[in-house]
């Protein structure tokens, strides 16, 4: 007779021999296997069609318009826009953060709308206008949002700053004169662990003023 030991919750379990749970799971699995074998033998079951899935390493041609310049390159269908920007084109302004669409450090503009580059496949960006933080520069001169962030000290460690800048840029392209609440909503998808939000809001307000005055684009 198998010995039994008591668990902390008062339920008994067998330390050796065949337990009731193991017996049931074994017989159930055997029944399922027997039924499947019978169906195959009788011809009532057919094999599922093979899925049309790209193999690892398979490359596809893409054409990306980034900051007004055309780039033709080969990419794997699974590569994100963030990966292609940083690793294939050397544009490291968009940062690698959570890589699951939560922190916003990889924010870019796609057709003037803020998007997470980590959640966008490079192939999805074909036929669009992609703008990165590098594209806001006018030669050696900072864009309005970049200048406002600088003047308002709207950063501490600076890691999230490119994404914050692009979120504000996208907001101002859609709404040139946002209220404070609209600014807060506009950057709500971008996290700052340093807590520089008050200065980020001030920078957004100043950038809006600079753009309205035509001093910076």
* Residues 108-121 as b or e (16 or more Cβ within 10 Å = b): bbbeeebbbbbebb
Q: What is the pLDDT of residues 19-28, one digit of tens each?
A: 545 544 554 5
Q: What is the pLDDT of residues 172-183, one digit of tens each?
A: 999 999 999 999
**Predicted local confidence at residue 17, as pLDDT:** 53
The tokens describing 44, both together, are 């009532």
User: CA 204 to CA 208: how far, in whole Å?
Assistant: 6
Domain ranges within the chain, ordered by starting residue? 60-213
Q: What is the 3-state secondary structure (H, E, C) of the chain?
A: CCCEEECCCCCEEECCCCCHHHHHHHHHHHHHHHHHHHHHHHCCCCCCCCCCCCCCCCCEEEEEEECCEEEEEEECCCCEHHHHHHHHCCCCCCCCCCCCCCCCCCEEEECCEEEEHHHCEHHHHCCCEEECHHHHCECCECCHHHHHHHHCCCCCCCCCHHHHHHHHHHHHHHCCCCCHHHHHHHCCCCCCCCCCHHHHHHHHHHHHHHHHHCCCC
Strands 107-110 vs 4-6: parallel, antiparallel or unpaired: unpaired
**Predicted local confidence at residue 177, as pLDDT:** 97
Nearest to 93, CA basis, from 101, 82, 79: 82
Low-confidence ranges of the chain (pLDDT < 70): 1-56, 215-217
**CA distances from residue 150 to 29, 158, 168 in whole angstroms, order as listed:** 65, 11, 14
* Long-range contacts of 20-26, Cβ-Cβ distance < 8 Å, separation of 24 or more: none
**Predicted local confidence at residue 24, as pLDDT:** 45
Class of domain 60-213: alpha beta
């Amino acid at each position: 007779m198998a010995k039994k030991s008591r668990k902390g919750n008062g339920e008994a379990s067998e330390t050796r021999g065949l337990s009731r749970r193991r017996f049931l799971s074994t017989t159930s699995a055997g029944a399922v296997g027997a039924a499947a074998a019978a169906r195959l033998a009788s011809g009532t079951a057919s094999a599922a069609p093979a899925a049309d899935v790209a193999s690892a390493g398979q490359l596809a041609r893409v054409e990306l318009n980034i900051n007004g310049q055309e780039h033709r390159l080969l990419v794997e269908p699974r590569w994100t826009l963030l990966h292609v920007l940083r690793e294939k084109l050397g544009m490291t302004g968009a940062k690698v953060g959570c890589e699951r669409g939560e922190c916003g450090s990889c924010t870019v503009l796609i057709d003037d709308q803020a998007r997470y580059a980590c959640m966008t496949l490079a192939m999805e960006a074909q036929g669009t206008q992609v703008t990165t933080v590098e594209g806001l520069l006018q030669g050696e001169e900072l864009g309005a949002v970049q200048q406002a962030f600088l003047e308002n000290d709207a950063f501490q460690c600076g890691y999230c700053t490119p994404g914050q800048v692009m979120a504000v840029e996208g907001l101002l392209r859609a709404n040139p004169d946002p209220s404070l609440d609209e600014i807060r909503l506009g950057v709500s998808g971008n996290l700052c662990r340093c807590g520089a939000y008050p200065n980020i809001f001030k920078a957004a307000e100043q950038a809006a003023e600079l753009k309205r005055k035509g001093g910076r684009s």
